[in-house]
Amino acid sequence: MNSSQMIKMDDAPLSKFHIKMAALTFGAHFTDGYVLGIIGIAFTLIKPQMNLDPLWTGLIGSSALIGLFLGSLILGYISDFIGRQKIFVFSFILITLASFLQFFADTPAQLLLLRILIGIGMGGDYSVGHTMLAEFSPKKHRGVLLGSFSVIWTFGYVASTLIGTYLLSIGPDAWRYMLASSAIPAVVILLLRMGTPESPRWLINKGRIDEARNIVKKYLGPNIVLDDETPVKKTQGSFAQLFSKDMRKRTVFNCLFFVCLVIPYFAIYTFLPAILESMGLSENFGTDLLLNGLLVVGALLGIWCTIKYSRRGFLISSFIILAVTLFLLTVLPEGATTLMILVFAIFTLIMSAVSNLVGVFPAESFPTEVRSSGVGLATSFSRFGSAIGTFLLPIGIDSFGIHPTMLALTGVLVVGTLVSIAWAPETKNLSLSEASDMQKTA
């Protein structure tokens, strides 16, 4: 075959294998949305049956997020040493087993431990799943594939609500079936992930060039070749490297923009009915039904924006719109119901749309040797922030009122705007093999 017929991985056409890898990654996000959604309905039965006090309720409610924080940090770091594929499979072994064992939990401590383990598995998958998908995907389609996960997450969350509501009729032990049901999508994904190949980019960095070539030919086609066969010189993935002089800016950017988006997202939409009531919109607005529908529409809109616009421009303009609309919701008088509904709708659409970028920027920002560590650190930082924000929001509303609390969240979005203007790189047409030079053009 002539060299002119050879195509680099980054320029390869979209194939069935790319779609399979995307489906396996999306399946993980469906499971994540399902796990985080089902606990809310299950709590209506668990709390009286286990006599949970507010402390245990809070601990169990945040347990999966605690696990996500740990899993993203630890398993993402480990995968840069032992390989992506091992963690890609291990994470769902852990999720499947811990999900099933929830059926047999008899104490709050047992349930807490199992949900932390589920979160650890999901955290590891966030860092490694995005990394695997990014390292296999051609750059033309990478943004769409990485950014589409928020749509699937929403479907998982909605599915948990429907199934949980249906299972309530079983009786007081229905919570066991609800929580254990997350093992069903998890085991399907686990079985499909068996036999998936290692990332060629990771193999190159370990000097295993022949293995990388064979994987590319087998799964992507005989005319597809590696972008770059030069390993990074004696470099091991490490958190120290993420904060080295040439990489610290992109590391801090990915952590901060991510957390500045998820703090208001999780805080507002976790307690949406209470917020709408505080703002005098609960009777006039279709409560969270309408806004949840707008979240789905916004997620689809985000895919289109990721294709059409630059990453940097999309992020900065979204942060500005979010900060302005949330500020308006804070200062508008309660009588301006129609205007408040319109502003909240815009806020919801843009927040959901730009959330696509949390799956794109981290995976595209870091070089191969620390990509999982970088994605894991950004994800971990975001989950820690979302847990803190979700915990503090009801306290803030109770202590200071809805308007000062929303103003504080507006401040978070302003910080995100400034960070993005100062440090957001443009990664839309960047080859992953060029990521190590990105700080020169950021």
Is 234 a member of any domain?
A: no
* Residue-number span of the structural domain to which 189 is assigned: 3-225
The average pLDDT across 163-179 equals 90
The amino acid at 320: I
194's CB contacts (< 8 A; 6+ apart) are: 89
The average pLDDT across 166-187 equals 92
Give 183 or 57, the one with higher predicted confidence.
183
Query: Among the three residues 170, 192, 225, which one is the final residue of a domain in this structure?
Result: 225
Identify whether residues 201 and 271 lie together within a single domain.
Answer: no
* pLDDT the model gives residue 441: 43
pLDDT at 422 over 60: yes
Report the interhelical angle of 16-50 vs 54-82 (nearest 10°): 150
Identify whether residues 408 and 274 lie together within a single domain.
Answer: yes
Identify whether residues 333 and 381 lie together within a single domain.
Answer: yes
Identify whether residues 246 and 167 lie together within a single domain.
Answer: no
The distance from CA 378 to its chain's CA centroid, rounded to whole angstroms, is 10
* pLDDT the model gives residue 1: 43
Asked whether 364 and 240 are in contact (CB, 8 A), the reply is no
Cross-strand partners of 8: 225
Is 230 a member of any domain?
A: no
Asked whether 228 and 60 are in contact (CB, 8 A), the reply is no
pLDDT at 287 over 60: no
* pTM score above 0.85: no
Regarding beta strands 224-225 and 7-8, do their DSSP bridges make them parallel or antiparallel, or are they unpaired?
parallel
pLDDT at 144 over 80: no
Identify whether residues 201 and 261 lie together within a single domain.
Answer: no
The average pLDDT across 28-41 equals 84
Is 139 a member of any domain?
A: yes
Is 134 a member of any domain?
A: yes
Q: Is 288 exposed, middle or buried (0-12, 13-18, 19+ CB in 10 A)?
A: middle
Identify whether residues 84 and 206 lie together within a single domain.
Answer: yes
The amino acid at 356: N
* pLDDT the model gives residue 108: 92
Identify whether residues 269 and 316 lie together within a single domain.
Answer: yes
Q: What are phi and psi of 8, to 5 degrees?
A: -70, 150
Query: Among the three residues 196, 225, 254, which one is the final residue of a domain in this structure?
Result: 225
Q: How far apart are CA 314 and CA 435, in angstroms?
A: 20
Closest CA to 265 of 252, 278, 253, 275: 275
Is 26 a member of any domain?
A: yes
Asked whether 367 and 435 are in contact (CB, 8 A), the reply is yes
Identify whether residues 200 and 297 lie together within a single domain.
Answer: no
Is 232 a member of any domain?
A: no
Q: Which of 213-227, 317-331, 426-440 has the lowest mean pLDDT?
A: 426-440
pLDDT in tens, 324-353: 999 998 888 777 777 888 888 899 899 988
The amino acid at 176: R
pLDDT-based confidence at residue 25 (cuts at 50, 70, 90): confident
- Name the CA radius of gyration of the chain, rounded: 22
The average pLDDT across 179-200 equals 92
Task: Return the half-sphere exposure (C-beta side, CA atoms, 13 A cut-off) of residue 298.
Answer: 25
Closest CA to 229 of 440, 11, 8: 8
Q: How far apart are CA 420 and CA 257, in angstroms?
A: 7
pLDDT in tens, 62-120: 788 788 888 888 887 888 888 888 999 999 999 999 999 999 999 999 999 999 999 99
Tokens encoding 21 = 């890898």
The average pLDDT across 16-41 equals 85
Number of domains in the chain: 2
User: What is the CB neighbour count within 10 angstroms for residue 360?
Assistant: 26
Asked whether 88 and 129 are in contact (CB, 8 A), the reply is yes
User: What is the CB neighbour count within 10 angstroms for residue 419?
Assistant: 21
Average pLDDT, the chain: 82
Give 23 or 139, the one with higher predicted confidence.
23
